[in-house]
Amino acid sequence: MKTWVLYYSKGGNTKKIADAIAEELGVPKSEQIPPAYPPEGVNLLFLGTGLYAGKPDPKIVEFVRTLNSNRVKNAVVFGTSNSGKDTAIEAVKSLLKEKGINVIDETFSCEGKFLLFKRNKPDNDDINAAKKFARRMNDSLKA
């Protein structure tokens, strides 16, 4: 099963979670959007976003618009935000669904550092929770 982990991260919070997911699933590495080449024949895409002014960054929106169900069959969305409640996730899920991609309902979100606040986030507990989430999502598609 071909799995990719892609993310867009300005401050590095979402990258930390993406790297943990890639490590857990044995994916060579996570990649910042836009990737070096477009996804083709991806069975499972983990797509990470941060929350920027209440919505996903335009770069991730633009990237999702290039996808279709021939390129990506299934997608899982994860993210980070100052509050830990990432409303950008729902926006990205909707965009993926519009492209005909099967989007897993369950998502992962955690707090991230912002300026001088929450400087230790995401922490080891968040990283471990992201790994468990990734394993569960991956295994659910194999069942």
Predicted TM-score (pTM) of the model is 0.90
Domain that holds residue 59: 3-142
Whether cis (ω within 30° of 0) applies to the bond prior to 34 is: yes
> CATH number, domain at 37?
3.40.50.360
Residues 6+ apart with CB under 8 A from 3: 25, 27, 42, 43, 44, 45, 46, 138
Q: How far apart are the first and last CA of the chain?
A: 13
The pLDDT profile of the chain, 143 residues, written as one tens digit per residue, is: 799 999 998 878 899 999 999 999 999 899 999 998 989 999 999 999 977 667 788 999 999 999 999 999 999 999 887 654 567 889 999 999 999 999 999 999 886 755 555 567 788 999 999 999 999 999 988 75
State the total domains in the chain: 1
| Gyration radius (Cα) of the chain, Å | 14
- State both tokens at 64: 């999702």
